[in-house]
Chain A
């Protein structure tokens, strides 16, 4: 391990005077480059939203919440199975009225006990419109949601009528409709309990969040780094096997990778596409590449009549068959993506609803049939199509160009398909919200919880939160409703798969590939693994 060069103290003092306000720069109080023993140094991205459980809807903030919070359930990092964590049991007779009983002995890291109220207060806070929480809709299944979070106007209630505290360890939940897999969703971060400190001094809590997980926040330098240290008093079964985690913010994945190679960083949880070719030799095998609950698709603007006419299903299916998934995943993604053959993810497992090959021939590369189908369907609307994507993040340009190339080859026309880059993700989302897409567009789905329901309902149910193509099908909606009301999980999964077949027959979106999580780590670390959300399982990592 090479240490970075140091500046002589005298030079430091002289130059500090030169740049007066920057006094913190020279040997400042923080362990600027020292390596704390037993601590994992990991890459991080600056979370775009405040770090509140119900306000965090992306991976970077979620990573921290995973470390400092434990909820009623937690997902097994290997199997994805939802297991009781703080919940002793969650009972129901009718899939609508649930009684939650908490385990004894859990506290927040500041000593406050975790009670039924910690959950009920947190959920009420999350649902209330005035608090502007981005994950508020997770609570829409609970009775009284429309009063605390009306579509228009001010809330007429401050708390959810469906929640009620029975005693310190028990609370009841009444849902608006039957939802058999609802308990399995409770491992999601939005459902985390909150201590009183959150409500009493919100500003201070945001500066240094307090939770009940295996780690606690030691310091948080905005935009630079967060230092998490192992909480010795953690009562849970999944105690941290290291002394802590330093999260360092990187804007550029390549820079983080450079730092890993220079021994300046221990863990990079997103190996940039440009490095995938060399990563195995660079890191001498210290590389993890495993499936995650992420599916990439092409969505269609169903508000545009060009894409909904009677022949449109054939056109959509034809486009799907014109895409050589095998070659694109090999050439561009170095096998960190797997060609998709259904609309869920392999991480669900066959019992959870993943069915390999459900898409059938529609997802197999067959240029001749693709051409025939598109012709039968009346050809591409206007003779050509564009694929819209945001060019600011990911390596979207490469694969969109490759997909278009594949389609052009199949149709034997040079300019039948072209990519349509949009500068920023913000602008991309704007066009989607404004229903301004002219042709197929990039859509990606990272699951919130490992349930087949999460791969279907938010994406294809009429007016659902992520139904960006605004697809609507009565049969699909009916099957989803039936699946949710089904009390037997095996039968529920079967209903969901039937709904998925409707998605297939209508080709509501073209599945492209399942995405793997990829991570590289230094020789200091052992037992590095990713969970199904492609987030490192930090508490299991051993250092040294």
Chain B
């Protein structure tokens, strides 16, 4: 087991280096960000040169990358153009997005798995068909449509919640955006759980459990669900990273100033330190989530542990 973890951790290093280099290359290849700092005016050459030198923009790209990585390992992510430390921006925005993501995952787990189990056990009945149809609709509606519609209905028409999230993003205000963020994944989770349950309901060990006369509840939770959840856990694990990165749309609709907001601003202003820094952290989160998924496999299915 320990070797398994160690191997996975070592594998993360080249992935991390490769992906950060790619991001770095892409953001910096976009060109010189200094021109935009001066608004509708041509930058005064002397000031622009000073800013460029300060940001090492006058060095060759490979050198910039080395300098940047050196900085990162010392915990310094550089300074955004408005003078804020990128790490300070991270401290402000990652908790917000993390909370939003956790709300989304929580909804996804709760609603998705329950619906999946219910429909899987009642395959072909009215409930199953209607939920299947519903998930199809949810998957085909883009997030920004569902976001604006729900915001209009709950926030403006009925006034149940505030249409935007106030500063500090308290958890209660994140329920609606969390739901919007979760919707698509929720549909996938439902379908995945359903298929998995249907498949495993015919498996040998479940049949044996039924033959032994175990209570139905115990068969479902201990025997059926445990094996059925493996693909679902894989999906949700990989989804955490995707949700955090994909929160750009949701955060924009509900005016939540988390990672998505910072990335959006960063890209708009070609603010390389912010973009590269934030994406680097997102890559790390993605890798760690995947590692966690692998470890969970081993817990759910002992056979994997020895493979």
- Bound form: Cα–Cα A391–B169 in Å: 30
Tell me the chain B residues, 9-39 only, with Cβ under 8 Å from chain A.
Answer: 30-33, 35-39
Instruction: Mark the stretch among B122-130, B187-195, B260-268, B283-291 that contacts chain A.
Output: B260-268
Chain A residues near B37: list those with CB within 8 A.
48-49, 134
Contact indicator A129/B31 (Cβ below 8 Å): no
Chain B residues near A468: list those with CB within 8 A.
42
Least Cβ–Cβ distance between B276 and chain A, in angstroms: 15
Smallest CB gap from B80: residue in A: A48
Looking at B151, B168, B270, the one whose CB has the most chain A CB atoms below 10 A away is B168
B82 at the interface (CB under 8 A from A): yes
Selected from B152, B161, B168, B253, the residue in CB contact (under 8 A) with A5 is B161
Contacts known (A48-B269, A49-B82); A149 close to B46, Cβ less than 8 A:
yes
Contact indicator B102/A18 (Cβ below 8 Å): yes
Contact indicator B39/A57 (Cβ below 8 Å): yes
Chain B residues near A137: list those with CB within 8 A.
44
Contacts known (A223-B89, A255-B255, A445-B40); A433 close to B35, Cβ less than 8 A:
yes
Contact indicator A255/B164 (Cβ below 8 Å): yes
B163 at the interface (CB under 8 A from A): yes
Contacts known (A6-B172, A28-B168, A33-B166); A425 close to B36, Cβ less than 8 A:
yes
Smallest CB gap from B81: residue in A: A48
Chain B residues near A250: list those with CB within 8 A.
164, 255
Chain A residues near B89: list those with CB within 8 A.
222-223
B51 at the interface (CB under 8 A from A): yes
Least Cβ–Cβ distance between A417 and chain B, in angstroms: 23
Least Cβ–Cβ distance between A192 and chain B, in angstroms: 18
Selected from A134, A223, A261, A428, the residue in CB contact (under 8 A) with B47 is A134
Contact indicator B99/A264 (Cβ below 8 Å): no
- Bound form: Cα–Cα A473–B79 in Å: 42
Smallest CB gap from B93: residue in A: A223
- Bound form: Cα–Cα A132–B173 in Å: 41
Contact indicator A19/B35 (Cβ below 8 Å): no
B226 at the interface (CB under 8 A from A): no
Looking at A134, A248, A250, A446, the one whose CB has the most chain B CB atoms below 10 A away is A134
Tell me the chain A residues, 98-126 only, with Cβ under 8 Å from chain B.
Answer: none
- Bound form: Cα–Cα A48–B95 in Å: 23
Least Cβ–Cβ distance between A453 and chain B, in angstroms: 16
Contact indicator B167/A458 (Cβ below 8 Å): no
B155 at the interface (CB under 8 A from A): yes
Least Cβ–Cβ distance between B44 and chain A, in angstroms: 5
Contact indicator B82/A251 (Cβ below 8 Å): no
Least Cβ–Cβ distance between B197 and chain A, in angstroms: 27
Chain A residues near B173: list those with CB within 8 A.
4
- Bound form: Cα–Cα A32–B38 in Å: 34
Least Cβ–Cβ distance between A447 and chain B, in angstroms: 11
- Bound form: Cα–Cα A251–B260 in Å: 11
B56 at the interface (CB under 8 A from A): no
**Contact flags A424-443 to B (C-beta < 8 A → 1, else 0):** 11111110110000000001
Chain A residues near B151: list those with CB within 8 A.
258
B159 at the interface (CB under 8 A from A): yes
Chain B residues near A221: list those with CB within 8 A.
167-168
B305 at the interface (CB under 8 A from A): no
Chain A residues near B40: list those with CB within 8 A.
443-446, 466
Chain A residues near B35: list those with CB within 8 A.
426, 429-430, 432-433
A259 at the interface (CB under 8 A from B): yes
Smallest CB gap from A52: residue in B: B83
- Bound form: Cα–Cα A427–B162 in Å: 36
Contact indicator A132/B50 (Cβ below 8 Å): yes
B43 at the interface (CB under 8 A from A): yes
Contacts known (A19-B102, A25-B169, A225-B167); A129 close to B265, Cβ less than 8 A:
no
B210 at the interface (CB under 8 A from A): no
A252 at the interface (CB under 8 A from B): yes
Contact indicator B47/A129 (Cβ below 8 Å): yes
Contact indicator A258/B171 (Cβ below 8 Å): no
Smallest CB gap from B270: residue in A: A426
Least Cβ–Cβ distance between B126 and chain A, in angstroms: 33
Chain B residues near A47: list those with CB within 8 A.
82
Contact indicator A424/B270 (Cβ below 8 Å): yes
Contacts known (A19-B95, A49-B82); A258 close to B155, Cβ less than 8 A:
yes
B252 at the interface (CB under 8 A from A): yes
Selected from B39, B163, B252, B261, the residue in CB contact (under 8 A) with A264 is B163
Contact indicator B46/A251 (Cβ below 8 Å): no
Instruction: Classify chain B's interface size.
Output: 35 or more
- Bound form: Cα–Cα A50–B51 in Å: 14
- Bound form: Cα–Cα A432–B43 in Å: 11
Contacts known (A50-B83, A248-B167, A424-B268); A429 close to B172, Cβ less than 8 A:
no
Least Cβ–Cβ distance between A517 and chain B, in angstroms: 17
A46 at the interface (CB under 8 A from B): yes
Least Cβ–Cβ distance between B63 and chain A, in angstroms: 21
Contact indicator A151/B46 (Cβ below 8 Å): yes
Contact indicator B83/A392 (Cβ below 8 Å): no
Chain B residues near A204: list those with CB within 8 A.
none
**Contact flags A1-36 to B (C-beta < 8 A → 1, else 0):** 010111100011001101101101111101011000
- Bound form: Cα–Cα A12–B170 in Å: 9
Selected from B47, B81, B95, B261, the residue in CB contact (under 8 A) with A21 is B95
B7 at the interface (CB under 8 A from A): no
- Bound form: Cα–Cα A221–B93 in Å: 12
- Bound form: Cα–Cα A428–B31 in Å: 11
Contact indicator A25/B262 (Cβ below 8 Å): no
B254 at the interface (CB under 8 A from A): yes
- Bound form: Cα–Cα A2–B155 in Å: 10
**Contact flags B165-183 to A (C-beta < 8 A → 1, else 0):** 0111111110100000000
Looking at A30, A223, A428, the one whose CB has the most chain B CB atoms below 10 A away is A223
B88 at the interface (CB under 8 A from A): yes
A283 at the interface (CB under 8 A from B): no
Smallest CB gap from B94: residue in A: A21
Smallest CB gap from B161: residue in A: A5
Smallest CB gap from A470: residue in B: B42
Contact indicator A261/B172 (Cβ below 8 Å): no
Contact indicator A430/B32 (Cβ below 8 Å): yes
Contact indicator A258/B102 (Cβ below 8 Å): no
Selected from B43, B92, B96, B254, the residue in CB contact (under 8 A) with A222 is B92
Least Cβ–Cβ distance between B238 and chain A, in angstroms: 20
Chain B residues near A429: list those with CB within 8 A.
35-36, 38
- Bound form: Cα–Cα A137–B46 in Å: 11
Chain A residues near B166: list those with CB within 8 A.
4, 32-33
- Bound form: Cα–Cα A232–B35 in Å: 41
Contact indicator B171/A12 (Cβ below 8 Å): yes
B3 at the interface (CB under 8 A from A): no
Contact indicator B168/A25 (Cβ below 8 Å): yes
Contact indicator B102/A50 (Cβ below 8 Å): no
Inter-chain pairs besides A130-B50, A223-B262, A465-B41, 13 sampled, C-beta below 8 Å: A7-B170, A49-B37, A129-B46, A134-B37, A206-B83, A223-B92, A250-B164, A251-B261, A264-B163, A393-B268, A430-B31, A445-B40, A465-B44
B residues sitting closer than 8 Å to A (CB atoms) are 30-33, 35-47, 50-51, 54, 81-84, 88-89, 92-96, 98-99, 102, 151-152, 155-156, 159-164, 166-173, 175, 252-255, 257, 261-262, 264-265, 267-270
A-B contact list, 8 entries, CB within 8 Å: A22-B95, A22-B171, A57-B41, A250-B255, A264-B163, A424-B270, A428-B36, A432-B35
